[in-house]
Amino acid sequence: MTRQSTLFEDLWAPELPPGFVLQAQALSLDRQKALLAAVRDIEAIAPLSRLRTKGGGLTSAAMTNCGDAGWWSDAKGYRYETTNPATGAPWPAMPPVFWDTVREVAGHSPWPDFEPDACLINFYTPAAKMGLHQDRDEKDFKHPIITVCLGDDADFQVGGALRTDKYVNVRVHSGDVLLMGGESRMRFHGVRKIFGGTSPIANVNGRYSLTFRKAL
Ligand code: FE2
């Protein structure tokens, strides 16, 4: 892990497995605000919505996308779509501040050449969560998934190769970046809890995660 080691590290940051990288406080408050403004522009074109799952329920988090492809779920299952099924329009382009951020982050990671073509934006109210799952709808699992955290703190679950494997909770804060690649690419992961009211950015009542992928 990239977080600086301290005497008390095991009290607040569990040992993370190879391929799972936490870039703690990688993004300045100004950058977080710029990313949030870009997210709000995307929401104006492609509104957040809770998606129908195969089981007939709705996702707890609300979702939208930008880039060449967007992740989607409905009765037909999980997949990437190059247009927004809700509007029929192409997904909004990935804004420049998204590109700048993901290139800077990747440049300081084991995957410096990562070039995403999709960004799934999840919004969690303080009551929302996401169960343990694998990200397996992308074409080639050799590419990492890079997650930018904005807004409220959260406990991110890092599990193993099986849903039933033990997991650790990693407390993530606005401005933190999580990278899952290599031997951790197919790890089960989830969001166990959002800590409402902890966002350092005004006007966010909840947590956004911007999850950059190479989908196609
Ligand atoms: Fe995921």
CA of 61 to the centre of ligand 1 (A): 12
Say how many Å lie between the CA of residue 102 and the centre of ligand 1: 17
Expressed in angstroms and rounded, the spacing between residue 190 Cα and the centre of ligand 1 is: 7
**Neighbour-count burial for 42-70, b at 16+ CB within 10 Å, e otherwise:** bbeebeeeebeeeeeeebebbbbbbbbbb
Residue tagged 């995660």 (tokens):
209
Please state the three-class secondary structure of 63-76 as a single string.
Answer: EEEEECCEEEEECC
Q: How far is the CA of 97 from the centre of ligand 1 (A)?
A: 22
Region 77-83 average pLDDT: 97
Q: Measured in angstroms, how far is the CA atom of residue 145 from the centroid of ligand 1?
A: 8
* Bridging pattern class, strands 20-23 and 189-195: unpaired
Ligand 1 center from residue 122 Cα (angstroms): 10
CATH superfamily entry for domain 7-213: Alpha-ketoglutarate-dependent dioxygenase AlkB-like (2.60.120.590)
Angstrom distance (rounded) from CA 172 to CA 107: 21
Residue carrying the six token digits 């099986």: 162
Please tell me the least confidently modeled range out of 6-15, 86-95, 193-202, 205-214: 6-15
Per-residue tokens: 6: 């301290």
pLDDT at position 200 is 97
How many CB atoms are closer than 10 A to CB 186?
14
CA of 66 from ligand 1 middle (Å) equals: 16
What does the pLDDT read at residue 6? 42
Measured in angstroms, how far is the CA atom of residue 211 from the centroid of ligand 1? Answer: 8
For residue 50, pLDDT beyond 80: yes
Dihedral of alpha carbons 83, 95, 64, 134, sign? positive
User: Percent of the chain beyond pLDDT 70?
Assistant: 94
Distance (angstroms) between ligand 1 centre and the Cα of 7 equals: 31
Q: Ligand 1 centroid vs 14 CA: distance in angstroms?
A: 20
The Å distance, Cα 168 to ligand 1 centre, comes to 15
Predicted local distance difference test score (pLDDT) of residue 87: 95
Whether residue 44 has pLDDT greater than 50? yes
Mean pLDDT of 71-100: 97
Distance of CA 147 from the midpoint of ligand 1 (Å): 9
Does residue 13 surpass a pLDDT of 60? no
Q: Are 187 and 159 in contact (CB under 8 A)?
A: yes
Q: What are the boundaries of each domain within the chain?
A: 7-213
Separation of alpha carbons 82 and 181, rounded Å: 24
Q: How far is the CA of 189 from the centre of ligand 1 (A)?
A: 6
- Residue 186 alpha carbon to ligand 1 centre in Å: 9
- Give the Cα separation of 102 and 146 in Å (integer): 8
CB half-sphere exposure, 63, CA atoms < 13 A: 25
β-pairing, 168-172 vs 130-133, is unpaired
Structure-block tokens of residue 112 = 């410096």
β-strand pairing of 77-81 with 189-195: unpaired
| Average pLDDT along the chain | 93
The pLDDT value recorded for residue 16 is 87
